[in-house]
Structures are given as C-alpha cells and as structure tokens.
Amino acid sequence: MTEKNLVPADPDERRAAARRARMERRQRALAERSSNPVDLADDGETQPEARRQPTLVSPDSFVLPPRAQMEKASSRFSRFLSLTFFLFVLLPTIVAGLFYAFFASDQFATYSSFAVRGNSSSSSSMDLGGLFSMGMGAADSETSDSFILQEFVQSREMVEALISEANFLEIYSRPSIDPYYRLDPSVSIEDVVDYWQMMSAVDFDVDTGIISLTIRAFRPADAEQITNKVIEKSEALVNDLSMRARNDSVKTAQREVSLAEARYAEARKSVAAYRGEEQEIDPTATAVAQQSVVTELQGQVAQREMELSALLTTMSDNSPRVVYVRNQLDALHRQITAERERLATAQEGQDQPVLTERLSRYEELLAEREFAEKAYISTLATLEGARVEALKQQRYLAVFVRGSAPESSQFPEGIRWSLILFGTLLLIWGVVALVSAAIRDRVV
C-alpha cells in the first residue's frame, strides 16, 4: 500500500491532503499550458529546448496562477445581484423621488389643540377626602370623554357629517390633485373613512389631557374649512355627552322620588285602613288612658290602706268601719286586676284584638310611615340637587389652538418617504442576497 492510499485519521490531515492534491492538479495544468506554445526568437529561429522547460514548483507550496490567466469577466451571480439591486432598490426609489418631486400635489396642514374640561365646583364644608374623590371622578370622566372624542373624529359618523355639511368629496376629488392622493367619489363609505384616516391624525396625551388634531388638504382654505367643521362636531359631541349625563342623573332622581312617594302614600293608606278597621284613632292614647285608670286605682288603694292602718289603731278588726274599708280595698284590687287583664287578655265574645296587639300593629305602621316620609324628603332633596347640577355645563370642549389656513405646504414629505422606501427595499434586498449567496456556496 502506497502513501497516497493511506487515509489520515485527523480531519485536518484529510483537508491538507485534499489541498495538496488540488495544487498538484493545478501545477500539471500550468505545465501543460506552458509546454504547448512555441516561443520564437527575434530572428525566427526556435529557442532552445532548455528555454521552453517549465519551472517545477513544490506541491506543498500554494502558487497563484499567472495574472494573465485569471478570469477577467465577472461571474453571472454578481451580475444577477447588480441587476436585482437596480430593479428592486434603485428604480423604485428613483420613481418615488420623481413622483414626489414633479407629480405629487402639495398638501397644506392645520394643527389644532383642545381639551375636554368640566366644572369642579364644591362647597366650603366639604372635607379633603370629598374633594379628592370628586376630583378623581371628574378627571376619569374627562379622560373617558377624551378617548371617545378621539375615536369620533376619525369615525364614519364624522365622515358622513363632513360629506353632508363641508363638501368633503368635492374638496378631495378635484382634478388638480395627483392620482395617488385623489379621492374617487364613487368608492364605498368604508374606503372614504380609510382615506379620511390617512388625511387626518388625532393624538391624545393622557398626562396633560390635550388632544392634537392634524388635518391635511390640497388648498389652505379647504384645510381650514374641514378643521372648523371637525371642531364644531366635536363640541357638539361633548355637549351631547354632558347633556346625557345630566339628564340621566335627573331621571334617576325623579325615578327615586316616584318610588319614595308611592311608598309613602302606601304607608299612609295602611294607617288609615287600620284606623277604619279597628275604629280607633290612636291605640296609644287608649293605652295611656287605661294606664291612667290603673294608676288612679292604685292611688286609691294606697289611700285606703293608709286609712285602714289609722282605723286599726283605734278600732277592732270587726268594727263596721274597718270592715267597710277592707271591702273597698278588695274591690279596688279586683278592678285593677280586671283593667290589667283587659290590656293583655282577650275577653269572651270580643272580636277586637287586645290592646297590646293593636298597639304593636299600630306602631309598625307608624314606623313604616315615618321611614317612608324621611326617604321621600331625602329623594326630593336629591332631585333638587340634580336639577341644580343640570343647569351647569359639567363638561365642555376648550379649544386653545384653532388651526387656521396655512401659508406653505408641509406634505407629502417626499424626501422622508423616499429615504424610508430606499432603506426598506435595501434591507429586504440585502437579506435576500445574503440568503442566495449562502445557498449558492452550499450548492457549488
């Protein structure tokens, strides 16, 4: 087995052997090229054989081919990359730049700023907690209305209002406008909304509560007209939201008053029905009268007992006067017992409940009537407060920068969009070129 047939175990040795084999093949090819041509001297005679012998180079050394033998023409892959770079990067950028420079219509923009504000009046007796809670509630309401207004400006309702009241279609579909930015009046309302969202921008700053509005048009007067109409519709929306909130509060208070009034009327009817059924105006007065009778009888008993004690000091127990006084005491005790039984025990044949039951029922009706009356008075006060608050404009649109007609165009920003297009296409082309080069190296 020769040395060439041995397979090196180390990968580095295998690579070195392969490299030596390639170099040997290259040296043989160079030797064949140099041996074929015949070099002639100045006098036409053939040069000596020793002059035509090629110089042998060691296989272990790497020798570059002669410069004259190197391929001068570029590879097909590099030409393909150059062509794609021109077609997909340079050409679209040049076309976009020419469009913005010579064909795109000038666009005039108005910049407006406004905010949703509300009344935060408070009484002097309100504590710090009440002021803080009311302030937080007002801030949350204003923030919510600001988000609603932001969505409304670029909504379909706003577009329909601009079409009917501000000649929106005529303004943005004039023949003088370039074809790219010109609006086709025959498109659907959804496409018109998309076009309006492209020509307008609404930003809301949560920290400051300021809404920034930018509107573009192709004439300064048109931009100002559209801006004024948008602000007008925005003010109407905020006022409508505030009016709805006030009406809702008043309606809620009125509903509570109606419920409290019905409850109070029912309680009064219950008391009147009780008096009619029991034929008694006030069981409490009856109980007081009966209790006064018992109290009077108890006083008489005490007086008779004193009289009996005085008689016993001078008379015997069997004397007529002592017997008479004792009989009176017994009668008084029996009467007191009977009066007390009338208060808590029903008599035979008596249809009317005992006084204690009537008194308990009557007190329940009175408590219900008093509670209903207080609730009715409270709801009336709430209704009056709601009406007072409804007279105030709780929230309104504060416009502090109203966009006026601009003097120069700021859009469509041709240089900026051309550079963005060039960078995007260059990035995509570079990625595709790197992937293609990697695949080519693997295949070749």
- Non-local (6+) Cβ contacts of 147 within 8 A are 204
Q: How far is CA 242 from CA 51, 139, 245, 247, 371, in A?
A: 108, 14, 5, 9, 34
User: Which tokens hold the place of 367?
Assistant: 């408590």
The CA distance from 184 to 173, in Å, is 6
SS3 of residue 437 by DSSP: helix
* Residue 305 pLDDT grade (very low, low, confident, very high; cuts 50, 70, 90): confident
Higher pLDDT, 218 or 303: 218
Higher pLDDT, 200 or 34: 200
Whether the pLDDT of residue 126 is over 50: the answer is no
pTM of this structure: 0.54
The CA distance from 253 to 259, in Å, is 10
The CA distance from 169 to 176, in Å, is 14
* pLDDT of the residue at 38: 45
* Residue 123 pLDDT grade (very low, low, confident, very high; cuts 50, 70, 90): very low
Strand ranges of the sheet holding 108-118, from the earlier edge strand across to the other edge: 200-204, 210-217, 108-118, 395-401
Higher pLDDT, 125 or 302: 302
* pLDDT of the residue at 196: 93
Give me the residue label for tokens 């021109």.
86
- Non-local (6+) Cβ contacts of 345 within 8 A are 354
* pLDDT of the residue at 355: 64
* pLDDT of the residue at 392: 66
- Non-local (6+) Cβ contacts of 401 within 8 A are 111, 112, 113, 114
* pLDDT of the residue at 341: 65
Whether the pLDDT of residue 250 is over 50: the answer is yes
Q: Which residues pair with 216 in a beta bridge?
A: 109
Are 147 and 237 spatial neighbours (Cβ–Cβ below 8 Å)? no
Higher pLDDT, 308 or 46: 308
User: Which tokens hold the place of 341?
Assistant: 């039984």
pLDDT mean across residues, the chain = 76
Q: Which residues pair with 217 in a beta bridge?
A: 108
Whether the pLDDT of residue 265 is over 80: the answer is yes
Cα diameter, the chain: 199
Please state, for a pLDDT cut of 90, what percent of the chain lies above it: 14
Q: Distance of alpha carbon 155 from its chain centroid, rounded?
A: 16
* Residue 321 pLDDT grade (very low, low, confident, very high; cuts 50, 70, 90): confident
For residue 240, give the DSSP letter: H
Are 20 and 8 spatial neighbours (Cβ–Cβ below 8 Å)? no
The CA distance from 351 to 67, in Å, is 138
* Residue 3 pLDDT grade (very low, low, confident, very high; cuts 50, 70, 90): very low
* pLDDT of the residue at 213: 92
What are the two backbone dihedrals, phi and then psi, of residue 280, each rounded to the nearest 5 degrees?
-145, 125
Nearest to 242 by CA among 148, 121, 166, 153: 148
Q: Which of 99-113, 222-236, 427-441 has the highest mean pLDDT?
A: 222-236
Q: Which of 38-47, 85-94, 355-364 has the highest mean pLDDT?
A: 85-94
Higher pLDDT, 247 or 210: 210
Higher pLDDT, 264 or 352: 264
C-alpha neighbours within 13 Å on the C-beta side of residue 302 = 6
**In the chain, where are the structural domains located?**
11-69, 76-104+421-444, 106-257+400-420, 260-390
Higher pLDDT, 352 or 269: 269
pLDDT digits (tens, 9 = 90+) for 139-164: 567 788 889 899 999 999 999 999 99
* pLDDT of the residue at 132: 36
- Tell which CATH classification among 3.30.70, 3.30.1890, 3.40.50, 2.60.120 matches the domain 106-257+400-420: 3.30.1890
pLDDT digits (tens, 9 = 90+) for 355-409: 667 777 878 888 888 888 888 888 888 888 888 777 765 777 888 888 877 777 7
The CA distance from 107 to 380, in Å, is 59
pLDDT digits (tens, 9 = 90+) for 179-226: 888 898 889 999 999 999 999 999 999 888 899 999 998 888 988 999
Average pLDDT over residues 233-249: 84
The CA distance from 19 to 30, in Å, is 17
* pLDDT of the residue at 125: 37
